[in-house]
Amino acid sequence: MSPWLDFVLFSILAATAVGVVILRNLFAVVMLGAVFSLVTAALFVVMDAPDVAFTEAAVGAGITTVLLLGALTLTTRHERPGSSGIAIPLAVSLITGAVLVYGSLDLPRFGSPDAPIHLHLAPEFLVGREPEIDIPNIVTAILASYRGFDTLGEVIVVFTAGIGVLLLIGRHHVGRRNRVEDAADDKGEAPDSPAQSPPEST
Amino acid sequence: MIGTAADIASWLFIVSGSAGIVISALGLLRLPDFYTRLHAGGVTDTFGAELLIIGLAIQSGVSLITAKLLIIGLFLFFTGPTATHATANAAWVAGLKPRLAERPDERPDGDNP
Amino acid sequence: MRHHLILRIITKLLIAPILLFALYVQVHGEISPGGGFQAGVIAAAAIILYGLVFGLEAAERAVPPSFVHGIMVSGVLIYAGTGVYSMAVGGQFLDYDQLDPHYPVHGQHLGIVLVELGVLFTVSATMILIFYAFAGRPTPIGEKDW
Amino acid sequence: MFLVAAVALLIAMALALIRLFIGPSLYDRVLAVNVFGTKTVLLIGVVGFLTGRPDWLDISLLYALINFIGTLAILKFFRYRRLGDRPPSEQRP
């Protein structure tokens, strides 16, 4: 695969990230987040990582959008401009970026067979998978069997996150208030028409 | 012989689908107001996507891939127009008025930040 | 969204295929990309779509929160129980070879299926519960801020 | 031939992104995100054919479904200000 597709997709990704920083309308930012996840998943597919792309596709565009919208109920529609100056954040970003670029110089080339990860564990997994586990998808074999303990930890993290959200904003008497409202809705409600509804745009 | 015919047919479908997709994106960018852009983003977009998927399906012969492609086409065929309908309905109910010919200088008042 | 006939019909048509697709991703996780986490999110997405179009109350009637609580806990229990069982029959924690002592490869298959089932349960239930919690909140946004 | 389709899709994605940036109304942005999602679904399929491994169509199949849910969530939230049922403020004249 020639690298031009990578370049174009990364450019779109960078443009999206800049848009997230510039735009003040939080709805637009949520939508840009969905676009960011779409482009990321396309990049993962281009880089031969279908399992990660699958996760990004399942979580990024749908669930994250819904959850971010849920978080928007707790705040306003527009981001307030920050009060502090631009100098300190810019310096922090530049220094962090420079350190990251410097660190990436030591990384092995993308897909290089001499990378440390391909010298120690990966051959063992790839050779041992056939007689020991015998399923075609190596990712599932590693995740569920060789690294089963880590995956148990991930499941518990998800479980803990769910409990935390429930404790913070969960409800106890589910739906009682809504039921009363719905009865009122059913009785005296005309179909939506543009004449009745106030324009919501400001 | 049949292979050549299938190749030509799939070429035609893919190229015309790509043309439809580019035209729809151009329309999305260039048309003057929201309700006209809906046509570019809804009708032309679904049209181009379906043509492209038919072209890919012809290219892949008869296999599981063809079945998956046809299912994707079916989903896009249903969800695309439904999403466009929901968008148009929400915009209309919220009071976004179409730009009419009598007053060509009126701009739709959106929530421009 | 009480009057949206088109949305309701299309949603009714779509929910069954989404759940079926989640099942496909779950059981095909050993062969093609996918697995318990992805399948769980897809199944939760189907319920969330139902809740978006038909209202939160209808979704809570179809999938009661108490039921979802049970599913969320049972996922972790299935996963950890697999490990404890393999320990009880003489192996190490999460050592799937012990699940079928005569054919260790079959034990591995069984263990992976059980573990993926646990992941599916916990992830889908957590996503549904978070959606319920967010969607059920009354909005504190005033007319001025909107 | 797949290359033609991939280039067309990338151009369309860039144009839809510009529409998403400039707005002007929220509904234009929703429309642009929807179009962008369709383009990504197709791009993932076409890339599969381009690299000779078209058995990853599950991902684009998933996107075709998830994208719809995201669009509906944005529209519903913008109209009713919450994701559950309609709030009482909808009733005011």
State the SS3 of C107-118. HHHHHHHHHHHH
B63 — alpha (psi -120 to 50), left (phi > 0) or beta? Answer: beta
Query: Does D88 fall in a domain?
Result: no
Q: pTM score, two decimals? A: 0.82
D88 CB near a chain A CB, below 8 Å? yes
Query: Does A23 fall in a domain?
Result: yes
Q: What is the DSSP letter of B22?
A: H
Which positions 35-74 of D are in contact with B (Cβ < 8 Å)? 35, 38-39, 41-42, 45-46, 49, 54-55, 57-58, 60-61, 64-65, 67-68, 71-72
Query: Does D91 fall in a domain?
Result: no
Query: Does A73 fall in a domain?
Result: yes
Query: Does D47 fall in a domain?
Result: yes
Work out the pLDDT band at A192, boundaries 50, 70, 90.
very low
Work out the pLDDT band at A187, boundaries 50, 70, 90.
very low
Question: What's the whole-number mean pLDDT along residues A99-111?
Answer: 85
C6 CB near a chain B CB, below 8 Å? yes
Count of domains observed in chain A = 1
D78 CB near a chain B CB, below 8 Å? yes
C57 CB near a chain D CB, below 8 Å? yes
At residue C121, what is the residue type? F
Which positions 48-107 of A are in contact with D (Cβ < 8 Å)? 48, 50, 53-54, 57-58, 61-62, 65-66, 69-70, 72-73
**CA D81: distance to chain centroid?**
21
Query: Does D33 fall in a domain?
Result: yes
Query: Does D57 fall in a domain?
Result: yes
Query: Does D90 fall in a domain?
Result: no
Query: Does D20 fall in a domain?
Result: yes
Query: Does A22 fall in a domain?
Result: yes
Coil vs helix vs strand at C23: helix
CA distance A19 to chain B (A): 13
Would you say B28 and B40 are in contact if contact means Cβ atoms under 8 Å apart? yes
Provide, as residue numbers in chain A, all residues whose Cβ is less than 8 Å from the Cβ of C65: 174
Q: Evaluate if residue D91 carries a pLDDT over 60.
A: no
Q: Is the Cα dihedral D38, D39, D42, D48 positive or negative?
A: negative
Structure confidence at residue C77 (pLDDT): 92
Q: Where do the H-state alpha helices sit in chain B? A: 2-30, 34-39, 45-59, 64-93
Complete DSSP assignment for D44-76: HHHHHHHTT-GGGHHHHHHHHHHHHHHHHHHHH
Query: Residues with Cβ < 8 Å from A186, sequence gap 6 or more?
Result: none
C32 CB near a chain D CB, below 8 Å? yes
Q: Evaluate if residue D59 carries a pLDDT over 50.
A: yes
Provide, as residue numbers in chain A, all residues whose Cβ is less than 8 Å from the Cβ of D30: 31
Write the CATH number for A52: 1.20.120.1200
Nearest CB to D43 within list A23, A28, A42? A42
Query: Does D60 fall in a domain?
Result: yes
Coil vs helix vs strand at A25: strand
Query: Does A126 fall in a domain?
Result: no
Structure confidence at residue A4 (pLDDT): 83
Nearest CB to C134 within list A67, A139, A182? A67
ipTM above 0.85, yes or no: no
- What rounded mean pLDDT belongs to chain C? 84
The neighbours of chain C, by the rule of 3 or more Cβ pairs under 8 Å, are A, B, D
Coil vs helix vs strand at A78: strand
Find the residue in B nearest to A193 (Cα): B93
Structure confidence at residue A145 (pLDDT): 80
- What rounded mean pLDDT belongs to chain D? 80
Regarding predicted confidence, which is higher, C94 or D87? C94
Count of domains observed in chain D = 1
Q: Range of D65's domain?
A: 2-83
Query: Does A102 fall in a domain?
Result: no
Cα B72 from Cα A48, distance rounded (Å): 21
